Structure 1
Amino acid sequence: MTDRLPPQGREIPMAVHSWAYREMIAKSLLGTSNNKRLKAVIDKAKRGEKVTLAFIGGSITHGAGADPLHTACYAYLTYASFKKTFGQTGGEAIRLIKAGVGGTPSELGMIRYDRDVLRDGAVQPDIVVVEFAVNDADDETEGVCYESLVLKALSAENSPAVILLFSVFESDWNLQERLSPIGRQYGLPMVSIKDAVTEQFRKTQAEGRVISKQDFFSDIYHPTNAGHAIMADCLSWLFTETDRSVMVSEDTVIDLPPVIGNDFSGVRLLDRRNGPDMVKIDEGGFRATDSDLQFAEMDDHSFGTPQFPNNWMHTAESDSESFSMTLRCKSLLLVYKNTGRDDFGDADIWFDGQHVKMAMSHTVKWTRCHAVILHRSEQSEEHRVEIRMAAGHESKRFTILGFGFVD
């Protein structure tokens, strides 16, 4: 357990060694799973070998609500607990990869997985925690992107252990019912914060409530320090239970019919850095580069990292020429910038000569990376994409952050 006490708390501090607390934490573990991969990683750490824990998700994984964000968030606390429990010689061989970006679903997560988790092939995580259960209401595919991301992680050559983490909003809502069948299909460990905390929220202190809803949440979406500590303890409970269980003999089977869909499991990021080497691009009036971007504190960093810095931006001074791209693909997604700035406008998206979407910069009025599907097919064919400023928005700014494509 993390043994952290909540500085934001208004009640008596949590009795983290009490039976009631441990009972609450134990409720987070969803059923049985294939423990072969996770147990192998724990054994690897006990031998003093290098182990990398990776976390990908939305703002909760980013650390929103935690203070300080980079060391009081559940991802860092889980890493610290794993290092203390299983690491050797002070845990120097245990590494943290934290890749949470606020306000984004798995539709974007699957595109940035290679960059933000695998670090473009430089990292092979041993454990991957996927946390999108409260962000995926915005997933256009209602689970296909999530399952594709899970399979993308599972299919790595080093056979990482993939854990599905179901966080929860103050309203007791998440997408666990939609997403947990994916975990059951592939025999994955699953941890539900909803199952751990929501029932006891309704109790009084006299009835055994461990923590109130107001002390668990910093707002209607994000945990406090106490909430992040509970999330970390739930994951640590999974590690403890796995450590004392017998390893199953057979690895999880990946080559199964998808529960929802796996259309995007091979998705790759295309941006200004690698685009010219992969496809034919004419930047047109989108020749500038936007530096006013969404930032996220990655790993254990206290500083923010700009998201999608290798972008294409249209400015007020740009000419009216369209951005155009010709590529061979099955599916294509556009990632563009949302913002509250008045000098940003909308752009029309044309695919093979047909208008398919208007990308609106003010979908939300804060700086965010927004992904939308432009094309989805089972066949790989050559296509032409054209992006031009919408009528009346020619003197506005618009930023193409990048693309996700399946070839």
Structure 2
Amino acid sequence: MQGTSEPHLDFESQAYREFISKSLLNKGHNARLKRAIEKTKRGEPVTIAYIGGSITQGAGAEPIHTNCYAYRSFGLFRNMFASTSNVPLRFIKAGLGGTPSELGIIRYDRDVLREGTILPDIVIVEFAVNDADDETQGTCYESLVLKALGADNDPAVILLFSVFENDWNLQDRLAPVGWHYNLPMVSVKDAVVDQFQLTPEDGRIISREQFFHDIYHPSNAGHHIMADCLSWLFDITNHSDLDKESHVIDKPPLIGNEFVDVKLLDRLNEDSVAHIEVGGFGRTDTDLQMAEMDDDPFGTPHFPNNWMHKGKRESGDGSFKMILRSKRLILVYKDSGSNEFGIANIRVDGKLVRIADPSQINWTHCHAMLLFDEKHAREHTIEIDMAEGHEDKWFTILGFGYVN
């Protein structure tokens, strides 16, 4: 927690401005971001969207919905460029704790684009401390970036690199994607880590204890700094000449783009996508991972249109069977700290391919698991049943991400 004997933070000093300026990893091609800024100045509708993990959700900020970096930076953007308070700016926040871009790309259409009803002008992507759990080692991250970039309205996509208390993030893996497409990039790590080693007399702006709420998440002061890092990019872009050369994003991917077209499959659209026999997975789980969306102070349950097995005595012992034409498939299942939940076996075309253990993470959490990744689409049969000795346990299939 934030220390009580630390020096006061002067957010207006020249030293603080120089500290914040170190976060600008790459200005990137500025045409898309300048277009959003100019729209705001003209009083036109502009939407800024944020997708990421728990830091984007606002963890560590109190209150979470107004002191998180996302809401703060949205407010700074408004203050910088909107001529009046009546300019129609929209704030979309889609952070979900403990989840990588492997799940983020499945959530993108639902949680950011709101099923095609919203086209953000700016998208900020924050997965630098979550993507250790991305089984595709960056392919889903690059696919998510390309999915955002490829929208019909050509939004600005900003890559944001947060950091853990132990100075770790995945910037070395993810920033090359930004360099590859010449995107704006903001590194909180570059701003804060080196100066943590200094004394206040030697130029330290903020201590590690002040910046972090816990080992993973920023304090209110940390969220304030993250927002200021983004506003520095906004300001630099605003005062820079327009980049007039073509911004080329149609090029071979750096890591991979195989998941750009991933779609969510759940109870809402199952009949139009796959043939499913629910077997003993006919219940619906309502005890789900929650996240504060947009500027809401309350949590929204994620993946409510699920399939739940609630033990053999209550749900029966039949397996969940799905026939689907696809070349790539990600299972999303529920982790839980409850000992009511048990292990499930996942078979594809009769072969055991994965074992899903909801107790590995040990809290109510959405877990993405890659089942197959092939070059060509073909019909597959997916079967999920409880492992031997776990027939009376519970298991929740939250949904699937599939690529045709």
After TM superposition, the score normalised by the length of structure 1 is: 0.97
| Residue number among 377, 382, 396 corresponding to 1:385 in the alignment | 382
Say if 1:61 and 1:100, in contact at 8 Å, map to a contact too: yes
Q: Kindly report which structure 2 residues correspond to 1:253-272, keeping only aligned pairs within 5 A, or say none.
A: 253-272=248-267
**CA separation in 1, counterparts of 2:349 and 2:227?**
48
Displacement of 1:378 in angstroms is 1.2
- Bigger drift between 302-311 and 242-251 goes to 242-251
In the alignment, does 2:317 pair up with 1:320? yes
Give the secondary-structure state (helix, strand or coil) at the position aligned to 2:71: helix
| Residue number among 390, 394, 397 corresponding to 2:394 in the alignment | 397
Residues 90-132 of structure 1 show CA distances to partners (whole Å, capped at 9, x for unaligned) of 1541110000000000010010000000000111000000000
Say if 1:36 and 1:249, in contact at 8 Å, map to a contact too: yes
Give the secondary-structure state (helix, strand or coil) at the position aligned to 1:284: coil
Q: Kindly report which structure 2 residues correspond to 1:122-271, keeping only aligned pairs within 5 A, or say none.
A: 122-271=117-266
Residues 1-32 of structure 1 show CA distances to partners (whole Å, capped at 9, x for unaligned) of xxxxx987642221111111001100000134
- Bigger drift between 32-41 and 243-252 goes to 243-252
- Counterpart residue type for residue 89 of structure 2: I
**CA separation in 2, counterparts of 1:376 and 1:10?**
53
- Bigger drift between 201-210 and 229-238 goes to 201-210
**CA separation in 2, counterparts of 1:379 and 1:136?**
26
| Residue number among 314, 325, 330 corresponding to 2:327 in the alignment | 330
Give the secondary-structure state (helix, strand or coil) at the position aligned to 1:30: strand
**CA separation in 2, counterparts of 1:17 and 1:315?**
56
Q: Which residue of 1 aligns with 2:360?
A: 363
Residues 227-275 of structure 1 show CA distances to partners (whole Å, capped at 9, x for unaligned) of 0000000000000000000111134222111111111011010001111
Give the secondary-structure state (helix, strand or coil) at the position aligned to 2:26: coil
**CA separation in 2, counterparts of 1:59 and 1:373?**
22
**CA separation in 2, counterparts of 1:275 and 1:88?**
46
Q: Which residue of 2 aligns with 1:3?
A: none
Say if 1:130 and 1:165, in contact at 8 Å, map to a contact too: yes
| Residue number among 53, 73, 91 corresponding to 2:68 in the alignment | 73
**CA separation in 2, counterparts of 1:164 and 1:32?**
11
Moved over 3 A (4+): 6-10
Q: Which residue of 1 aligns with 2:40?
A: 45
**CA separation in 2, counterparts of 1:98 and 1:204?**
36
Say if 2:58 and 2:69, in contact at 8 Å, map to a contact too: yes
**CA separation in 2, counterparts of 1:363 and 1:299?**
29
Say if 2:2 and 2:209, in contact at 8 Å, map to a contact too: no
RMSD after superposition: 1.2
Displacement of 1:318 in angstroms is 1.0
Where structure 1 has 5 or more consecutive residues not aligned to the other structure, the ranges are 1-5
Identity %, equivalent residues:
60
Q: Kindly report which structure 2 residues correspond to 1:79-94, keeping only aligned pairs within 5 A, or say none.
A: 79-94=74-89
Residues 123-169 of structure 1 show CA distances to partners (whole Å, capped at 9, x for unaligned) of 10000000000000111111111001101111011110000000000
Say if 1:280 and 1:326, in contact at 8 Å, map to a contact too: yes
Q: Which residue of 1 aligns with 2:344?
A: 347
Where structure 2 has 5 or more consecutive residues not aligned to the other structure, the ranges are none
**CA separation in 2, counterparts of 1:95 and 1:286?**
39
Q: Taking structure 1 as reference, are residues 8 and 50 closer, same or farther at Cα in structure 2, changes over 3 Å only?
A: farther
What count of residue pairs does the alignment treat as equivalent? Answer: 402
| Residue number among 98, 102, 108 corresponding to 1:103 in the alignment | 98
**CA separation in 1, counterparts of 2:136 and 2:209?**
33
Say if 2:52 and 2:95, in contact at 8 Å, map to a contact too: yes
Residues 183-213 of structure 1 show CA distances to partners (whole Å, capped at 9, x for unaligned) of 0111100000000001111110111111100
| Residue number among 10, 19, 23 corresponding to 2:18 in the alignment | 23
- Counterpart residue type for residue 253 of structure 1: V
- Counterpart residue type for residue 344 of structure 2: A
Q: Taking structure 1 as reference, are residues 251 and 96 closer, same or farther at Cα in structure 2, changes over 3 Å only?
A: farther
Q: Taking structure 1 as reference, are residues 292 and 333 closer, same or farther at Cα in structure 2, changes over 3 Å only?
A: same
Say if 1:72 and 1:228, in contact at 8 Å, map to a contact too: yes
Say if 2:58 and 2:64, in contact at 8 Å, map to a contact too: yes
Give the secondary-structure state (helix, strand or coil) at the position aligned to 1:206: helix
Residues 278-300 of structure 1 show CA distances to partners (whole Å, capped at 9, x for unaligned) of 21111111000000000000000
Say if 2:46 and 2:121, in contact at 8 Å, map to a contact too: yes
- Bigger drift between 236-245 and 89-98 goes to 89-98
Say if 2:2 and 2:210, in contact at 8 Å, map to a contact too: no
- Counterpart residue type for residue 332 of structure 1: L
- Counterpart residue type for residue 334 of structure 2: K
